[in-house]
């Protein structure tokens, strides 16, 4: 009897334990990791969609069975794009859904690291909320991240001078929720001005862009905030060696939500090692650090901040109203002192850089086939400087102001699940003014230009039933009323999967832009923010035009990606003043163009969802042609960097992430004086333009983050070291005449720069 009772109790408790074990819920994030390792797949999702969701994991040998179980328990949508990639979304695409049929499809997940995807439309998408880790970065800085992509480089290490396929930074169309930005950086170019914790995704196009994009001949960087109601609170705070920041998603009702983020530097409060390195890098060769024997600069004060918000109002299931606002601000002031006639005199020089952007949009989903979107926007950029020269009793005021406002209308029509028509109209009025005011000798120059442009476009997208083929054909017509000029721009992108694991892409485009940046003098705006925006006048400053074609092939199987893309791009209508020459052409006004031919290669391998490594190599030949310069012969572009190699690896062990990488590229072109006769007629006697090169560039970076629980909240600490070898790379050099001899001036790269961060999430 006793034996029977013991057996009965054992069976009872074992049964209870089994039932309890089967019903025990686990965090969805942990379950997804289990599934990824078992079935060798990758999930793409927003953290906010899966946070605080616990489910019962039903183990099975069939992936589809598991996904069905997850959908029933979570009410989420698990969409298998291919055998390796599954997306998770928190809404159903029924007849009432505002998000009608999308033709874009992810073809490569984890393009470099988690949160970076390659789409069949030819774009690269970056999702900061899913961002893994990159060497040297502990936070998802948007404009730093895109520099890891093949064909993208910053020749001077700043995000305010990103060169994509040989173009200058002003040739990139930078959009913030559809609004063009004229400022991209804090700390005058070392930090992205856009808070990544409010940015939902970033799309980067190097070629084959949609016809809706205009005014950027080099590339498109399209940053988008979340456009859907989250329906739950989410917030976070963070601090690093440069700034503090915070963000919050605040549902106000079932139909309204407020997204807000703010960031402010701590550089005017404490001098960290990171700040000291940034300061040394960005202010070298500027009025702040170029000390005269009789004057000194001191008591510098520098800080920055940004504030962004977005208000979402779902008027109905078919109507959406959105309002956004962004404010970016940088300020520097310092004191210059000198003893003049035995009297200690002092003056304060200032530099301010700010942007204010706002827009309101209304979206209407008429039915399953038709939707429309209209947006009114305003974009303002101001760069102001007051520079005092005590020794010469001189005061210089410089201003550069941009006001860009207009509206956009877009309509989408879905013929069926495979064919989509996109058409629209855009109006823009851009006014740019430049002011220079000198008191000794008296001089004042104020120039303001305004251009109104009208653009219409149409684009057809075809997506095959088996998702293997995508064809995008579009055309854009830009009309500049002031010049009575039409510029027609055809666009094309074709993507075709073949032999199951291969994909070929063909892209082509014509593009133009009426805005550009020029440099008058190297010491403009205190020598820190030298570039100023100008408008085309169709004479001395023409409208810039480009045409480009590319062909790419990729292989993707078993988490091994091999891709190569060859391209050729021709850009015409550039001016010497927009290129930043520091040689015999520095003060010459000429109009010309450049042609770049290149190949981008990438190999990326993932191992067991923990270790990831990639190697990229880019070769390009970038040549100027100015009919009135160098006897009409071509010569190397200022950013003609022939060879670029990036190698990086990341390792993830549960909550720990580690990244290590190396960046190498051949030296930039420069122009040296003739050694045997360096000075002629009181000027530097230069060799052929850009006939010499700087030394090769080499940098190694390291970063790591660790996630843990802090009072039941998710917290992350991170540490990084930029340039761990502390290599003194020369990123620029030029020559000046000093005491009747030629002296060489060199700008050195950022040295060994540590950074630490701490973040906590309250969702």
- Inter-axis angle of helices 63-74 and 28-39, to 10 degrees? 170
pLDDT tens across 218-228, in order?
999 999 998 88
- Confidence (pLDDT) at 288: 79
The residues, ordered by sequence, that sit 6+ positions from 337 with a Cβ below 8 Å of its Cβ are: 295, 296, 297, 298, 344, 345, 346, 390
Residue in 703, 604, 520 with CA at minimum distance from that of residue 124: 604
Domains of the chain: 2-90 (3.55.50.30), 124-761 (2.40.170.20)
pLDDT tens across 633-649, in order?
999 999 999 999 999 99
Task: Evaluate the CA torsion angle 505, 508, 514, 515 in order and state its sign.
Answer: positive
Phi, psi of 67 (to 5 degrees): -65, -40
Separation of first and last alpha carbons in the chain: 56
User: Are 56 and 73 a contacting pair, CB within 8 Å?
Assistant: yes
Q: Alpha-carbon distance 619 to 621, whole Å? A: 7
Q: 544-557 and 591-607: which strand pairing?
A: unpaired
Task: Give the long-range contacts of residues 734-737, CB within 8 A, separation 24 or more.
Answer: 734/522, 734/582, 734/583, 734/670, 735/582, 735/672, 735/673, 735/684, 736/684, 737/679, 737/682, 737/683, 737/684
- Confidence (pLDDT) at 20: 40
- Confidence (pLDDT) at 22: 43
Q: Quote the DSSP letter at residue 50.
A: H
User: Are 698 and 729 a contacting pair, CB within 8 Å?
Assistant: yes
Classify 179 in phi/psi space as left (phi over 0), alpha (psi -120 to 50) or beta: beta
Higher pLDDT among residues 363 and 188, named by residue: 363
Band of residue 285 on the pLDDT scale cut at 50, 70, 90: confident
SS3 of residue 382 by DSSP: strand
- Confidence (pLDDT) at 48: 65
User: Are 26 and 107 a contacting pair, CB within 8 Å?
Assistant: no
Q: Alpha-carbon distance 679 to 675, whole Å? A: 9
pLDDT tens across 300-347, in order?
889 999 999 999 999 999 999 999 999 999 999 988 877 776 677 778
Q: How many other β-carbons are positioned within 10 Å of the β-carbon of residue 12?
A: 10
pLDDT tens across 630-687, in order?
999 999 999 999 999 999 999 988 889 999 999 999 999 999 999 999 999 889 999 9
Query: 27: exposed, middle or buried (C-beta count within 10 Å: 0-12, 13-18, 19+)?
Result: middle
Band of residue 81 on the pLDDT scale cut at 50, 70, 90: low
60: pLDDT strictly greater than 80: no
| Rounded (5°) CA angle 454-459-462 | 170
Mean pLDDT of the chain: 89
**Mean pLDDT across 433-456:** 95
Token representation of residue 92 = 């159903």
Q: Alpha-carbon distance 312 to 521, whole Å? A: 45
Classify each residue of 496-533 as buried b or exposed e, where b means 16 or more C-beta atoms within 10 Å of its C-beta: ebeeeeebebbbbbbbbbbbbbbbbeeebbbbbbbbbb
User: Are 599 and 618 a contacting pair, CB within 8 Å?
Assistant: yes
* CA distances for 177 relative to 202, 212, 463, angstroms: 10, 14, 26
Classify each residue of 666-679 as buried b or exposed e, where b means 16 or more C-beta atoms within 10 Å of its C-beta: bbbbbbbbeeeeee
**Mean pLDDT across 589-599:** 97
Token representation of residue 53 = 């969701």
User: Are 261 and 240 a contacting pair, CB within 8 Å?
Assistant: no
User: Are 177 and 223 a contacting pair, CB within 8 Å?
Assistant: yes
pLDDT tens across 377-421, in order?
999 999 999 998 887 888 999 999 999 999 999 999 999 888 999
Residue 529: cis peptide before it, omega within 30 degrees of 0: no
pLDDT tens across 106-155, in order?
778 788 888 898 988 889 999 888 888 999 998 888 899 999 999 999 99
């Amino acid at each position: 009897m006793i034996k029977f009772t013991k057996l009965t109790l054992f069976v009872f408790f074992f049964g209870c334990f089994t039932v309890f074990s089967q019903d025990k819920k686990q965090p969805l994030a942990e379950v997804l990791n289990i599934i990824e390792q078992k079935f060798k797949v990758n999930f793409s999702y927003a953290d906010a969609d899966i946070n605080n969701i616990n489910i019962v994991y039903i183990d099975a040998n069939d992936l589809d069975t598991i996904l069905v179980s997850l959908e029933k328990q979570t009410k989420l949508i698990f969409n298998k794009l291919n055998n390796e990639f599954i997306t998770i979304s928190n809404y159903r695409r029924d007849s009432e859904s505002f998000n009608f049929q999308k033709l874009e499809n992810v073809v490569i997940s984890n393009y470099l690291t988690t949160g970076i995807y390659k789409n069949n439309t030819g774009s690269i998408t970056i999702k900061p909320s899913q961002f893994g880790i990159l060497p040297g970065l502990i936070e998802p800085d948007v404009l730093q991240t895109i520099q890891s992509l093949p064909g993208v480089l910053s020749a001077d290490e700043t995000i305010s001078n990103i060169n994509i396929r040989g173009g200058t930074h002003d040739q990139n169309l930078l959009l913030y929720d559809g609004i063009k930005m004229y400022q991209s950086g804090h700390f005058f170019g070392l930090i992205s001005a856009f808070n990544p914790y409010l940015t939902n995704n970033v799309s980067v196009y190097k070629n084959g862009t949609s016809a809706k994009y205009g005014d950027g001949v080099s590339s498109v960087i399209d940053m988008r905030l979340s456009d859907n109601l989250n329906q739950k609170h989410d917030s976070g705070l963070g601090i690093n060696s440069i700034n503090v920041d915070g963000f919050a998603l605040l549902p106000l009702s079932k139909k309204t939500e407020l997204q807000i983020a703010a960031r402010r530097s701590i550089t005017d409060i404490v001098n960290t090692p990171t700040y000291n390195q940034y300061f040394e890098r960005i202010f070298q060769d500027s009025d702040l650090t170029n000390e005269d024997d009789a004057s000194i600069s001191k008591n510098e004060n520098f800080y920055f901040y940004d504030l962004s918000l977005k208000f979402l109002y779902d008027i109905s299931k078919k109507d959406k109203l959105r309002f956004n606002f962004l404010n970016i601000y940088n300020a520097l002031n310092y004191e210059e002192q000198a003893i003049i006639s035995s009297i200690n005199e002092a003056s304060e020089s200032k530099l301010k850089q700010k942007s204010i952007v706002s827009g309101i949009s209304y979206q209407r989903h008429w039915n399953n086939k038709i939707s429309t979107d209209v947006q009114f926007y305003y974009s303002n950029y101001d760069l102001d400087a007051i520079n005092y020269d005590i020794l010469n009793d001189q005061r210089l005021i410089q201003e550069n102001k941009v006001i860009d406002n207009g509206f956009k209308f877009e309509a989408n029509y879905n013929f069926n699940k495979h064919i989509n028509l996109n058409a629209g109209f855009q109006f823009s009025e851009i006014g740019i003014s430049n002011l220079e005011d000198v008191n000794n000798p008296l001089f004042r120059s104020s120039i303001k230009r305004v251009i109104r442009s009208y653009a219409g476009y149409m684009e057809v997208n075809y997506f095959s039933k088996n998702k293997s083929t995508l064809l995008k054909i579009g055309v854009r017509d830009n009309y500049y009323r002031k010049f009575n000029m039409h510029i027609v721009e055809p666009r094309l992108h074709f993507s075709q999967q073949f032999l199951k694991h291969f994909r070929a892409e063909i892209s082509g485009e014509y593009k133009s832009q009426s805005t550009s940046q020029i440099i008058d003098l190297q010491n403009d705006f205190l020598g820190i923010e030298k570039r100023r925006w100008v408008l085309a006048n169709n004479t001395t400053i023409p409208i810039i035009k480009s045409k480009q074609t590319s062909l790419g092939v990729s292989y993707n199987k078993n988490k091994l990606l091999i891709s190569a893309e060859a391209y050729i791009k021709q850009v015409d209508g550039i001016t010497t003043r927009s290129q930043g020459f520091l040689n015999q052409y520095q003060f010459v006004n000429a109009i010309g163009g450049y042609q770049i031919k290149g190949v981008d290669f990438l190999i990326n391998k993932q191992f067991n969802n923990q270790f990831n490594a990639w190697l990229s190599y880019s070769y390009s030949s970038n040549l100027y042609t100015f009919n009135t310069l160098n006897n009409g012969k071509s010569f190397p572009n200022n950013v003609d960097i022939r060879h670029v190699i990036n190698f990086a690896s990341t390792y993830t062990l549960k909550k720990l992430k580690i990244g290590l990488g190396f960046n190498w590229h051949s030296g930039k072109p420069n122009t040296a004086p003739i050694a045997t006769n360096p000075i002629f007629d009181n000027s530097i006697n230069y060799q052929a333009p850009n006939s010499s090169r700087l030394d090769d560039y080499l940098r190694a970076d390291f970063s790591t983050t660790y996630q843990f629980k802090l009072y039941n909240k998710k917290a992350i600490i991170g540490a990084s070291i930029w340039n761990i070898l502390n290599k003194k790379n020369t990123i620029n050099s030029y020559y000046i005449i000093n005491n009747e001899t030629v002296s060489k001036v060199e700008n050195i790269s950022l040295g060994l720069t540590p950074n630490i961060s701490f973040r906590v999430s309250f969702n």
